Structure 1
Amino acid sequence: MSLDMMTGDVVQALRDRFGAGVVGAQPTGEAFPVLWLAPEIWVAAHRMLRDEIAQPFPLLADLWVIDETTRQGLEGQPASTLTLCSHLTSLARNADLRLKLATAGSAPSLVPVYANADWYEREAFDMFGMDFGRETRRILMPPTWDGHPLRKTHYARATERPPFVMTDAFFAAEERATPTDPAELGLPAIRDGEELMVLNFGPHHPSTHGVFRILLGLDGEEVVWAWPDIGYHHRGVEKMAERQTWHGFIPYTDRVDYLGGVMSELPYLMAVESLCGITVPPRAQMIRVMLCEFYRIMNHLLFYGTMAQDVGQMSPVFYMFTDREKGYDLIQTVTGARMHPAFFRIGGVAMDLPTGWETLVRDFLDWMPARLDDYERMVLNSRLFKARTVGVGAYDTATALNWGTTGPGLRATGCDWDLRKRRPYSGYEQFDFDVPTGTRGDCFDRTRVRADEMRESLKIIGQCLAHMPAGPVKADHPLTTPPPRKAMQRDIETLITHFLQMSWGTNVPRGEATGQVESHRGLSQYSLVSDGGAQSYRTRIRTPSFAHLQMLPTILPGMTVADLVAHVASLDFVMSDVDR
């Protein structure tokens, strides 16, 4: 049953409840309904979907804005300057629903309904200037930033501005603008008559794994409140997408999560291929799956070792880096690169597997299981590791969904939600593998789930080795980029097509499309808008790490600083994935 069919009764229930408040349905190529709502029912409709229907939509997967001011082909859509979009997911229905609100720049806040709407609304204010009728701080840009970067009127290149000069006065002003006063943030400075110590934890502390800052209010070693501060690594990748060709943006996706390799390429290309009507050949699909699972293992090994290191075990990370080198040697042989291969292409992959790939894969499959057994004895069975992680940072499934948590962090609570199983893509329905889950939702379970996921990834890779189909590695479609080199060398028409696509880019048909994958961190989603040109009109990137850090102020109070380090490590975030 299609995702659209799973939500037919919900669409009708919304129409029955709100009548003309449901302005209309937008025809798209999406696998789910897209509805326009009136402002007066925006909050009530979301509350109904979350709390008042059978098989509700407890997960606000994403919330973002589209600047419609220069967009072509808006026939049939309500007049809108800034369109606010929410993407909801029902696990019980295994279905999605997208709601849109046409605005002139203001919208009701969804924070009373979905707790994780807070950061998304802050981002919408920061990037677009959307007013939600509440005090909203910038979240990615500095407090002193002039303008809203994702508006079409905002410059995209540094060359469009005068040369930047860092002066002492400028530096001092930026330092003063960084919030450190609890009163300014609405946080208490005193508890039970005692003044709290305010600790600036990060952005360069080793356990924050990147430029991530948490302002802490401490009573001795106990965390009373926590205020995460992100944006130090923001590079404006969604803005970059508007000035790159569809094909030229692929290398940027690798760097959204710089530890995920091809994993971020896949949802982007799935959305582009949906817009183009391209079917990827079976061999290319299986090569994509195999490489994604290799990168899942590479990431989980890094998490496993640094998680153990953060709670006091120094040896595991060095052993695991040996395994990662072995894995990266194989990846480099296949793709020509290690961490950022940009190997996937519109319609397939860059090239076929090299001669002898089977031997390399078989050697890795023979190598890893015994290593994982050693790590289980060394880490998971360690009394030290259990003392530092069991019962620490625990949350249940409802809390996880309320804050937008997906991936291993959700599965550690006992929820077996995994897109590879629930909504198989890229041929995952062909593979036999299990979805590891936990029971307590604590730091230990989050580690255990990832350790078990590596074994399942090895099973999937083994099936790729045993059943790799023959055939082309790229779709025979005029919009795939670039055309086959042999054909280009044989006839002038293909050479001209190659020249135009490399010079100007592929013109992707007008429309909207979404690509979703179960990445090593959780739900990674690209929502694309094409205006029929050679660049994306709007590229929205939903990353799991952004959602996972937002939960910290809810989970950290009551912990010690040492427990905070363990909990933060167990989230397995990467700041490029947070800040984009």
Structure 2
Amino acid sequence: MKKNINNNINTIKLKQIIHENPLILEQLFNEFDKQEFFVQSSLIDYPIIWINKCKLLNIIRFLKKVQQPYNMLYDLHGIDERTRKVKKNMIQCDFSVFYHFLSIERNHDIILKVPLFTKDLKIKSISNIFCNANWYERETWEMFGIIFLGHNHLSRIIMPDYWEGHPLRKDYPARATEFQNFYLNEHKEKQSMNSLKFQPEKWGMQKSDKDSDYMFLNLGPNHPSSHGAFRIILQLKGEKIIDCVPDIGYHHRGVEKMAERQTWHSFIPYTDRVEYLGGCMNEMPYILSLEKIAGIVVSDRVKFIRVMLSELFRINSHLLYLSTFIQDVGGMTPVFLAFTDRQKIYDLIEFITGARMHPAWFRIGGVAKDLPKKWECYLKEIISWIPKRLNYYIRTSLKNDILISRSKNVACYNLQEALNWGITGASLRATGINFDLRKQRPYSGYEYFDFEVPVGNGISDCYTRVMLRVEEIFESIKILQQCLKNMPEGPIKTDHPLTTPPIKDKVFSHIETLITHFLQVSWGTIMPIGESLQMVEATKGINSYYVISDGGNMSYRTRIRTPSFAHLQQIPSVINGSTLTDLITYLGSIDFVMSDVDR
């Protein structure tokens, strides 16, 4: 490892990265041998450091205890490096595992990469240091076959137990037509049904103690209060939850694998469906990461339009969340009223984009079309309508004594617990920390907007999480008012060779641009070589796309980090010891959607 580092290190680039990130790299180099690190250059705004796997635990413990610590494991996953054509400025290896850490106090991140080889795909688990590494390591083992030594339950998490192979390896087929024909016979059906049986002993659960027998209850995967195809297995003593196991994977579609066979442009519609309530907001991190790689800078008009669509989807998602939460605790009427409100917003989205839930409307270098005439009339109606309805919901439901008694001081956790589990968004801010990427790391022109970030008072409970999202809707209305008042003039597409598709007027008048349009749409845009990452403050927390281009027309690796995956992993630590009714309230307060979990 050390020999590779010494041979590959780019001294000029290293000096530049140290200059841009002086504190943490200086601290690492002072604590450990500088020669143990290889700093990779990328288009990401913070350092990527390759390390030897033998040093992994010591370096992570150091990052967690250093002053202004990197105390959130934001993401952990793998990359199959074997078919990568361009391996300059990186360590030679067959596979790699990357660890993305976030420091709230520094407002800074760091990525550690560990090189691995096919003959030794083993690395130590960090689940004893960061508890949320548990699911991430299971997913990485499942998708790549990388073994995490010391993990207490390294088993499949998304695919069925009987599944063969590791889907995100490059030698695993990416299209259904590459598989043999599937036939369902009695053996396969029996195998599938057996895989769903829950064996408590495998999870360290006892069926009884000296005083009584425990009851095991399946909640889901088809239950209205599980909010999607999600199963949670409960170990009960009476109505008290002794332990529970969240069971995911029923919604899995393999979208990260799909990214490796779709062109950069044709993958955009898939992003809408990763978290299908967020619509255009899910296109934002993907598009922005590609624009970093391509070196594209869009106009202020494009930025404002993207912000406006994102905030409309934020309000729509929050309205569904609020109304279904009220329904979960016993109030039926608001969910019907809120769908009327959401319809008004969808009418505007459809008027602008031509679609409703899945517009696929952002483009590399701009948006699909300019705003239509009279869009302001629709937006003015929404700005006038929503606050009055919100105040009605607050007055009639959210200040109802029964709802308050069922949600206040229920399913509580503090800041440290939230960081340990990788919790982001309003659920993190409910613990009293002011961390919203739209303010801390403005993107797409959010720095131009004046709005506040609602923050809780120190403990995140169900009621606080709900009320913060109510306040967030009011702040989103402020942003929409500014979009209405200050929408700039300018082009809706950048005049750049990698803008996809190119500006339409030039397609009609320039043969070269017409050819470019044909090639980009049919064969795909050729993106420059590079790695890029964009994080956004999505409806349910921080969402990000980590994109690797190998200089082709498709992604070499697209890692989609979603907030709901982390949030569901936290459930047992919060709800164990509570009652079954508290669990229903807690699930409603998380604000998750299963497409965001399984991807």
TM over 0.5: yes
Q: CA offsets per residue over residues 494-537 of structure 1, 9 Å max, x none?
A: 11111111111000000100011000111101000000000000
Larger displacement relative to structure 2 (187-196 or 314-323): 187-196
Secondary structure in 2 aligned to 1:194? Answer: coil
TM (normalized to structure 2)? 0.95
Counterpart secondary structure, 2:556: strand
**The one of 33, 45, 67 aligned to 1:19:** 33
**Residue identity matched to 1:510:** I
User: Which range moves more in the overlay, 189-198 or 109-118?
Assistant: 189-198
Q: Which residue of 2 aligns with 1:110?
A: 126
**Aligned-partner Cα distance in 2 for 1:88–1:21:** 22
Cα offset, 1:108, TM superposition = 1.3
**Which segment is superposed worse, 117-126 or 171-180?**
171-180
CA contact (8 A) 1:21 1:41 kept: no
Matched letter for residue 496 of structure 1: I
| Distance (whole Å) between structure 2 residues aligned to residue 370 and residue 19 of structure 1 | 61
Partner in structure 1 of residue 142 of structure 2: 126
Among residues 379, 396, 404, which one is paired with 2:422 in the alignment?
A: 404
Q: Aligned in 2, Cα 1:219/1:570: closer, same or farther, shift over 3 Å?
A: same
Who is 1:543 aligned against? 562
Give the residue type in structure 1 aligned to 2:358.
H
1:84 maps onto 2:102 in alignment: no
- The 5-angstrom pairing of residues 401-480 of structure 1 reads 401-439=419-457, 440-480=459-499
| SS in structure 1 of the partner of residue 305 of structure 2 | helix
Instruction: Indicate which of 54, 65, 74 corresponds to 1:40.
Output: 54
> What's the counterpart of residue 81 of structure 2?
68
When structure 1 is superposed on structure 2, of 524-533 and 156-165 the one drifting more is 156-165
Runs of 4 or more consecutive aligned structure 1 residues displaced over 3 Å after TM superposition = 2-7
Alignment of 1:153-302 (within 5 A): 153-191=171-209, 193-302=211-320
Residues 41 and 89, structure 2, Cα contact 8 Å, conserved in 1: no
Q: Which of 511, 535, 547 is 1:492 aligned to?
A: 511
Contact 1:506 1:534 in 2 (8 A): yes
**Number of residue-to-residue matches in the alignment:** 578
Q: 1:50 is matched with which residue?
A: 64
Letter paired with 1:119: W
Report the AA paired with residue 48 of structure 1. F
Give the drift of 1:193: 2.8
The answer on whether the counterparts of 1:139 and 1:231 sit within 8 Å (CA) in structure 2 is: yes
Maintained 8 Å contact 1:21/1:38: no
Question: C-alpha root-mean-square deviation of aligned residues, in Å?
Answer: 1.3
SS at match of 2:413: coil
Shift of 1:144: 0.5
Contact 1:393-1:442 within 8 A present in 2 as well: yes
Query: 2-side partners of 1:6 and 1:490: how far apart?
Result: 44
CA offset digits 1:319-346 (Å, max 9, x no partner): 1000000110011001110000001000
Instruction: Kindly state the Cα deviation for residue 75 of structure 1 after the two structures are TM-superposed.
Output: 2.2
1:69 alignment partner AA: R
Give the gaps of 5 or more residues in structure 2.
1-15
Give the distance between the partners of 1:8 and 1:83, measured in 2 at CA.
26
Map Cα deviations across residues 235-256 of structure 1 (whole Å, 9 max, x no partner): 0000000000001000000000
Distance in 1 (alpha carbons) for counterparts of 2:90 and 2:73: 23
Aligned equivalent of 2:550, options 518, 526, 531 = 531
CA distance in structure 1 between the partners assigned to 2:20 and 2:415 by the alignment: 22
Q: Aligned residue for 2:366?
A: 348
Task: Quote the sequence identity (%).
Answer: 49
The residue number in structure 2 matching 1:149 is 167
For the structure 1 residues 434 and 6, does the alpha-carbon distance in structure 2 shift closer, same or farther, using more than 3 Å as the test?
A: farther
Partners of 1:365 and 1:458 within 8 A in 2:
yes
1:314 is matched with 332
Deviations along 1:121-176, one digit per CA (max 9) or x if unpaired, are: 00000100010113401111111001000000111111111211222321111111
When structure 1 is superposed on structure 2, of 169-178 and 272-281 the one drifting more is: 169-178
SS of residue paired to 1:190: coil
Contact 1:68/1:82 (CA < 8 Å) preserved in 2?
Answer: yes
Q: Contact (CA 8 Å) 2:18, 2:25: kept in 1 or not?
A: no
2:501 to 482, 496, 501: 482
Q: Which residue of 1 aligns with 2:10?
A: none
CA contact (8 A) 1:512 1:529 kept: yes
| Contact 2:132 2:421 survives alignment (8 Å) | yes
- The alignment's TM-score, normalised by the length of structure 1, stands at 0.98
Shift of 1:20: 5.1
Q: Secondary structure at the match of 1:232?
A: coil
By how many angstroms is 1:6 displaced? Answer: 7.3
Map of 1:327-346 to 2, 5 A cutoff?
A: 327-346=345-364
Q: Distance in 1 between matches of 2:34 and 2:476?
A: 49
Q: Distance in 1 between matches of 2:31 and 2:209?
A: 46
2:216 touches 2:233 (CA, 8 Å); kept in 1?
Answer: yes
Give 1:363's aligned residue. 381
Aligned residue number for residue 5 of structure 2: none
Q: 1:516 to 1:110 in 2, by over 3 A?
A: same
Superposition map of 1:367-378 within 5 A? 367-378=385-396
Q: CA deviation at 1:189?
A: 2.2
2:6 corresponding residue in structure 1: none
Q: Distance in 2 between matches of 1:57 and 1:369?
A: 39
The match for 2:22 among 8, 22, 34 is: 8
Q: Pick which of 73-82 and 438-447 moved more.
A: 73-82
